[in-house]
Amino acid sequence: MRLDLHHYLYYKFFNSLFTGLSVGTIFVIYEPLEPSIYSLGGIVLAIGMLVIAKFYDVLLNIKRYFQIGLLVELVILVLITVFLLHPYTYMTALFVYAGYQLTFMFGAYLVRAETLIVKKALFLTKVDVAKQIGYLGGMVGSYLFYKIVQGSKQQQVYDLHFLLLLIEIVIIWLFIKSFKRKR
């Protein structure tokens, strides 16, 4: 398997655009949760990251990076879909929180693996620039969305999830296109 940097840069841009757009949504979605849930989630997250780090010798290669990265993106797609179908219940908030914690467990791994897979400093610069431009675009887009779209904060966050759903589908498509089989 080899990395197609052209598609990967677009993937990183849209992935960070998604992050920038969605940052404010979690405060509204997580509202029903008790503070103790965050402590429990943090404990589970730390343990999960420890376990994943113990398997770096098996996981730090392009094939596993593709599989785990795709898994993370599919989990996000499921979270968005569940939220759109069942918004603002305690169970939805808990499900979304747990789902994001699951994806965060792979965060350190994905960053380390990306560095090894992209390899060259010039390409890593391009990746980080694409990420920062995407994140900045997402934050600006989020700010404008909340200023332009009227309604309660719950309705605004719900409406924003239709855009997030579309972007997540693009992210998954770009992520798959970013990896080619070696001939």
Q: What is the pLDDT of residue 14?
A: 98
Mean model confidence pLDDT for the chain:
96
Q: pLDDT tens across 43-101, in order? A: 999 999 999 999 999 999 999 999 999 999 999 999 999 999 999 999 999 999 999 99
- The reported pTM is 0.94
What span, in angstroms and rounded, lies between the C-alpha atoms of 39 and 26?
Answer: 16
| Contacts of 82-85 spanning 24+ positions with Cβ under 8 A | 83/29, 83/158, 83/161, 84/158, 84/161, 84/162, 84/165
Token pair 């509202």 is found at: 31
The secondary structure element, H or E, covering residue 59 is helix 56-59
Average pLDDT over residues 104-133: 96
Q: What is the pLDDT of residue 130?
A: 98
Q: pLDDT tens across 155-177, in order? A: 999 999 999 999 999 999 999 99
pLDDT band at 182 (very low <50, low <70, confident <90, very high): confident
Query: Quick check: 183 pLDDT over 80?
Result: no
